[in-house]
């Protein structure tokens, strides 16, 4: 008796966990070579025929069409890691694949899944217990660029080796510029990654990139005024044009004089409104989120007011955040002094053939701070010769901004280059030998799987991974807990002395998400897949009907 709907696929039996592990390893084998500065790129052609060349795991996974449900669980784990910390997606996928590979012999030996999962829970509990002891330093001041670079350089260097110093400096400056402070002067743990914007301009090189403390728009001003300094800004989300009635009406003009009087009346109304509503506030810049009539442009130009049109409501919100302005929804009421924005300078520049409107809050040397405001928006202007490189640098910069956000939550650092994993593997492995029962095998598998990071780093660098791992194990057994793979010298070294660090919070969430994903995969003993939704196939033509034709 078939209880399931027709065309429903089902897999069950003792071999289902093994098949699930094999499916997971097939996906993780694609991603594991992305790890490290010498990681290899993947060329992905999307369903829209867009070609993407990158080694950023998040981009690769989200553009792949993964059909297997086990593969989707791994993609979900990488997505959760990206949302929680912003980086570490390659590490979590590689660790999931390695842990499943180490547990596969236990599954083939028919060990009870309950004992395996209990062993993994014990290993995770021990790992979280010793995690604080593996701290090698911390970012003491989030406003010190040198301190912040210690955490950002490894993140960027793992994706665009050779250019990490330049990109890290850009990201660090942009993040520090918008980092909020409390009344006591202490940094607030809240940091909004949306306050960091990116403007990609084709042409030039990466060294031409810069950071603007403010907002940049890829558009020009509406009038002839292109440059202004120390200007108050009035922002309107409505149109700046003559008033229209709620109902349609007809005006009959019997002579040319009546037409002239009507036109003069409309012009006088617009002039009075601009003088009394806008110019009376002292505003020198008007930003409009809708249309601007020609007569309004005439009087604004006549008064020396810069006019900017921002049709996107999202860009208008960011403009207000950059200038601390409040957008008005009507022109009937003048903006209050606290509703006016301010910008140290607004310039329409020609950059690489693109007109860029730069709203800057950079304070001039020797200038007064009375009128200056702290911008809540910072923009990184990225320059490069190709669109593909622009996109790749932007994706790396986004990961770095998310890493800075993680720093505001937990600034503790651990040894990079696989040093953290080797020391944690030693501690968890030693603990597993003291545990009685079948769970000790799962604890051993957990400890062995941690070594995947230094092993992959060695393989992608062209080194003998077995020899490097053996040397690291010997060094850590002698108490050198900071030893890792130094890819600059292509041998093991002290990661603390070299300045190669990783975030402790990143490693913690990699372990948490990876363990939950592995336990979910191991707990599945049957897969049921319903028929995909869609139109029914057309009925096949019978042989009798074909003969009758």
Give the tens place of pLDDT for each residue, 420-461.
999 999 999 999 989 888 889 999 999 999 999 999 999 988
Least trusted range by pLDDT, from 351-365, 419-433, 435-449, 484-498:
351-365
Q: Is the pLDDT of residue 187 over 90?
A: no
CA 3 from centroid of its chain's CA atoms: 45
CA distance 155 to 110: 41
CA distance 549 to 538: 19
Query: Could you tell me which of 323, 319, 288, 321 has the C-alpha nearest to residue 305?
Result: 288
Question: What pLDDT was estimated at residue 10?
Answer: 65
For 402, residues 6+ apart whose C-beta sits below 8 A from its C-beta are: 82, 85, 86, 87, 193
- CA distance readout (Å), 321 to 25, 64, 312, 357, 398: 46, 36, 14, 16, 20
Query: Could you tell me which of 171, 180, 28 has the C-alpha nearest to residue 86?
Result: 171
pLDDT band, residue 548 (cuts 50/70/90): very low
Q: Is the dihedral of CA 167, 173, 178, 182 positive or negative?
A: positive
High-pLDDT (> 70) share of the chain, %: 88
Cα dihedral: 32, 33, 34, 36 (round 10): 100
Q: Is the pLDDT of residue 111 over 80?
A: yes
pLDDT band, residue 61 (cuts 50/70/90): confident
Structure tokens at 502: 């990783």
CA distance 223 to 196: 29
**Angle at alpha carbon of residue 230, lines to 225 and 235, rounded to 5°:** 70
Least trusted range by pLDDT, from 258-262, 297-301, 425-429, 498-502:
258-262
Average pLDDT, the chain: 84
Question: What pLDDT was estimated at residue 3?
Answer: 64
DSSP result, 68-116? SHHHHHHHHHHHHHHHHTS--HHHHHHHHHHHHHHHHHHHHTT--HHHH
Query: Could you tell me which of 525, 515, 526 has the C-alpha nearest to residue 98?
Result: 515
Phi-psi region of 352 (alpha: psi -120 to 50; beta: other; left: phi over 0): left
For 462, residues 6+ apart whose C-beta sits below 8 A from its C-beta are: 38
How close are the terminal C-alpha atoms of the chain, in Å? 41
Q: Is the pLDDT of residue 93 over 90?
A: yes
CA 248 from centroid of its chain's CA atoms: 49
The full set of domain ranges for the chain reads 13-136+413-521, 214-374
CA distance 472 to 453: 12
Question: What pLDDT was estimated at residue 449?
Answer: 93
Give the pLDDT mean for 230-246.
80
CA distance 535 to 426: 56
Question: What pLDDT was estimated at residue 549?
Answer: 41
For 13, residues 6+ apart whose C-beta sits below 8 A from its C-beta are: none
Cβ count near 220 (within 10 Å): 15
Structure tokens at 49: 């025929």
For 128, residues 6+ apart whose C-beta sits below 8 A from its C-beta are: 508, 511
CA distance 336 to 326: 9
Give the pLDDT mean for 304-319.
88
Give the tens place of pLDDT for each residue, 254-288.
778 777 777 787 788 888 888 888 888 888 899 98
The domain 214-374 belongs to what CATH superfamily?
A: GroEL (3.50.7.10)
Q: Is the pLDDT of residue 206 over 60?
A: yes
Rg (CA), the chain: 31
CATH architecture label of 13-136+413-521? Orthogonal Bundle (1.10)
Give the pLDDT mean for 466-486.
91
């Amino acid at each position: 008796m078939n209880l399931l709907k027709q065309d429903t696929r089902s897999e069950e039996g003792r071999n289902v966990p093994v098949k699930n592990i094999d499916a997971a390893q097939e996906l993780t084998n694609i991603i594991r070579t992305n790890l490290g500065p010498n990681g290899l790129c993947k060329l992905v052609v999307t369903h829209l025929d867009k070609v993407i060349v990158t080694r950023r795991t998040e981009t690769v996974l989200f553009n792949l069409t993964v059909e297997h449900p086990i593969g989707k669980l791994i993609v979900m784990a990488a997505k959760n890691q990206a949302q929680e910390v912003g980086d570490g997606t390659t590490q979590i996928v590689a660790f999931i694949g390695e842990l499943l590979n180490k547990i596969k012999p236990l599954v083939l030996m028919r060990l009870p899944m309950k004992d395996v999962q209990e062993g993994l829970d014990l290993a995770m509990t021990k790992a979280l217990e010793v995690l604080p002891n593996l701290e090698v330093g911390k970012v003491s001041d989030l406003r010190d660029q040198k301190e912040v670079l210690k955490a950002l350089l490894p993140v960027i260097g793992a994706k665009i080796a050779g250019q990490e110093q330049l990109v890290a400096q850009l990201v660090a400056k942009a993040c520090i510029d918008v980092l909020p402070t409390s009344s006591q002067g202490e940094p607030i743990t809240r940091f909004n990654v949306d306050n960091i914007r990116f403007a990609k301009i084709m042409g030039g090189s990466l060294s031409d990139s810069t950071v603007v403390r403010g907002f940049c728009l890829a558009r020009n001003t509406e009038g002839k005024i292109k440059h202004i300094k120390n200007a108050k800004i009035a922002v309107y989300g409505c149109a700046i044009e003559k008033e229209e009635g709620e109902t349609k009406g007809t005006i009959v003009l019997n002579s040319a004089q009546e037409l002239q009087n009507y036109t003069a009346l409309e012009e006088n109304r617009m002039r009075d409104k601009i003088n009394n509503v806008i110019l009376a506030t002292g505003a020198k810049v008007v930003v409009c989120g809708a249309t601007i009539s020609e007569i309004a442009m005439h009087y604004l130009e006549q008064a020396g007011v810069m006019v900017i049109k921002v049709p996107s409501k999202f860009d208008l919100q960011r403009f207000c955040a950059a200038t601390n302005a409040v957008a008005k929804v009507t022109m009937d009421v003048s903006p209050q002094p606290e509703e006016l924005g301010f910008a140290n300078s607004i310039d329409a520049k020609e950059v690489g053939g693109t007109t860029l409107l730069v709203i800057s809050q950079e304070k001039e040397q020797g200038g007064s701070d009375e009128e200056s405001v702290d911008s809540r928006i910072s923009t990184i202007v990225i320059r490069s010769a190709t669109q593909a490189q622009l996109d790749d640098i932007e994706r790396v910069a986004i990961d770095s901004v998310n890493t800075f956000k993680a720093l505001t939550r937990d600034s503790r650092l651990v040894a990079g280059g696989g040093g953290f994993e080797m020391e944690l593997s030693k501690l968890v492995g030693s603990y597993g030998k003291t545990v009685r029962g079948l769970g000790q095998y799962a604890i051993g598998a957990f400890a062995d799987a941690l070594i995947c990071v230094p092993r992959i780093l060695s393989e992608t660098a062209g080194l003998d991974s077995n020899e490097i791992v053996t040397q690291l194990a010997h060094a850590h057994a002698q108490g050198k807990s900071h030893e890792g793979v130094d890819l600059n010298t292509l041998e093991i070294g002290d990661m603390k002395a070299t300045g190669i660090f990783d975030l402790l919070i990143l490693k913690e969430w990699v372990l948490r998400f990876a363990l939950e994903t592995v336990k979910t995969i191991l707990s599945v003993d049957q897969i049921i897949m319903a028929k995909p939704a869609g139109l029914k196939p057309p009925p096949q033509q019978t042989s009798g009907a074909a003969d009758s034709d």
